Chains A and B, each alone.
Chain A
Amino acid sequence: MQDKIHTSYKQLEQRSKYTNMFLRWFLYFVLILFALYFIFPLYVMIVTSLKTMEEIRQGTLLTWPSGLNFDSWAVAWGGRGYGAGDTFLKPYFWNSIKMVVPAVFFSTFIGAMTGYVLTKWRFKGDQWVFLFLLFGCFIPFQAILLPMARTLGVLGISNSVIGLVLVHTVYGIPFTTLFFRNYYISVPTELVKAARIDGAGFFKIFFKILLPISAPIIVVTVIWQFTQIWNDFLFGSTFSFGEAAPIQVALNNMVLSSTSVKEYNVDMASAIIAGVPTLIVYVLAGKYFIRGLTSGAVKG
């Protein structure tokens, strides 16, 4: 019986060999067409950033640059060297780093702790507590912007990197909790029970048993939080301006500033600089990035 099915399956494949070949060409054609569509803006950004304005005016979007000319990159990163009105990305890039590192650390740590409690030290109503936290993933941030602006003012940390660290930590907690909770729920509770019988306490169990096996979910969470916070614009533009602004805000200001002639090559170099950190993370750790996307699944 098994054999018979096998041969008929073979025959079937034989018969449709030619249709199959045509189909495969079609498949690859469509896939490559879409790949070109997705790669097109990145290509345009890169070649534009390497051209002079003269070349930009003469050629088209696709024209290859005449040489590797990094002048506009230098301007985007370090400015032109004159005082007022010379905006460039370097200081804002550091602002973003100073904001991202602590915010990612705190939100990940808190998420790990809550995820641990919610799965391994369950209490009555813990499901409701989880739901309570989870809902925070979904709220449109417009509904909290006004009171947040006032709160930061009262605390004396509006328009500062510290203020943004607080904001990103708080609104990261629902996501980090979700990640760790879903990961720890698949860790056998027997391990924890056995350790408790042996007299291990709350923190000892976390650090000796849970933490050593948490590497994958920590990577997923850190990448997710890093990408979210680095790419944030709403909080950055609402709660900071001038010198405390993170890089996305600075990029937007640079591109929108309507002084003198529009320099598209500098704009593109700036956009690449602002996008490169998350792109690098994506290329190096794509697997974890995708896992975060599909389990966090509520990019805001």
Chain B
Amino acid sequence: MFKWLEKNLPKIVMAPAVGLIGWFVYGFVLWTLYISFTNSKILPKYELWGVGQYVKLWGSRKWLIAVDNLLIFTALFLIFCVVIGIILAIFLDQKIRAEGVLRTIYLYPMALSFIVTGTAWKWILNPTLGIQKMFIDWGFENFTFDWLVNREMAIYTIVIAGVWQSAGFVMALFLAGLRSVEDEIVKAAKIDGANLFTVYWKILLPMMRPVFFTSFVILVHISIKSYDLIVALTQGGPGISTTMPALYMTQTAFHKSQVGLSAASAMMMFMAVAAVIIPYLYSELRRENAR
């Protein structure tokens, strides 16, 4: 008995973690999947109903707006974060004075919650007393900046706040990547007459392919899950113009009590994340095994 215990102790120690994750992650996802095939309203029903909820979901105008917004947000969020992140990383890599201070400034938003970020930007972007008033007081009398309350433009305020929060993170990833490149490569290229621009464009950035990949995965992941920022900044409004899938899911589940429908929307989000993450994990593992 004691011998057995000793031999299996590592597995026994592993068991709680595996059990908890098995139950709370895999079990729960399967439960949600099952419920998405039922006609559950306020309370879950366990009688199968087919794909009705998915049909309903993709026929819902609000969901289509949410998906549309997600695509716009993801595209802009990705582009701006990566471009700003790379510029900052390359510039910081030029033996800059006070690099530590600048880095700290670029990255501090990552330490804040999206609720804090959203609260701050909501105040800054508010049309009566925020940026608009600042420019008007400076003498630009016709200056208007009402994106926050403008149906067409409100989604871009979420991009502004999101990029502000996450661009520093991409900077940190690329800076770490650039720092891991041997100095000799850059020196050799310079001796061959390459200028700094060519060195980065032709040599270093192509070497950063894994960093691009990682940033892409993380940023897409953040944007699919984005919820807090929208709640704090626009609550999905004006109207439903800034709804995104995560917000749609919680509203459908907890305000409209459409459990089956919200489960279907959650599964769509799950599949979107899986489509990005599984290839990523696969390639990461392969890289690790190759080492």
Contact = CB atoms under 8 A, between A and B. Distances in A.
Main secondary structure of the interface of A (DSSP, over half): helix
Given A271-B119, A289-B111, A293-B169, A147 B32 contact: yes
Interface stretch (B45-53, B55-63, B101-109, B151-159): B101-109
Contacts of A141: 225
A38 B227 contact: no
A143 B114 contact: no
Contacts of A147: 27-28, 31-32
A60 B270 CA distance: 44
A297 B284 CA distance: 13
A82 interface: no
Given A35-B102, A41-B121, A298-B218, A202 B249 contact: no
Interface in A137-182: 138-148, 150, 170-171, 173-174, 177
Interface string B223-240: 011011001100100000
Contacts of B290: none
Interface string B158-199: 000000100011001100100000000001001101001000
Assign chain A's interface to a size class: 35 or more
Interface in B246-291: 246, 249-250, 253-254, 259, 262-263, 265-267, 269-270, 273-274, 277, 281, 285
A299 B28 CA distance: 21
Given A60-B133, A148-B24, A268-B123, A31 B249 contact: no
Interface in A60-94: 60-62
B261 to A, nearest CB: 11
A292 B221 CA distance: 17
Given A233-B227, A278-B112, A170 B129 contact: no
Contact of A248 (B113, B249, B254): B113
A237 B118 CA distance: 16
A44 B123 contact: yes
A249 to B, nearest CB: 8
Contact of B232 (A48, A143, A255): A255
B221 A44 contact: no
A42 B165 CA distance: 12
B125 to A, nearest CB: 10
Contact of A30 (B31, B87, B187): B87
B142 interface: no
A31 B221 contact: no
Contacts of A177: 17
Interface string B18-38: 101110110111011001000
B218 A297 contact: yes
Contacts of A135: 25, 277, 281
Contacts of B79: none
A25 interface: no
B129 A57 contact: yes
Interface in A235-264: 237-238, 248, 251-252, 255-256, 264
A174 B21 contact: yes
Interface stretch (A97-105, A214-222, A280-288): A280-288
Contact of A9 (B32, B114, B191, B269): B191
B207 interface: no
Contact of A123 (B10, B22, B88, B190): B10
B249 A264 contact: no
A250 to B, nearest CB: 10
A14 interface: no
Contacts of B137: 59-60
Given A60-B138, A61-B124, A252-B232, 13 more contacts: A5-B191, A31-B92, A60-B133, A62-B134, A116-B13, A177-B17, A231-B113, A231-B115, A233-B228, A234-B246, A248-B113, A268-B123, A278-B111
Top 5 nearest A-B pairs by Cβ distance? A231-B113, A121-B10, A282-B111, A60-B134, A144-B28
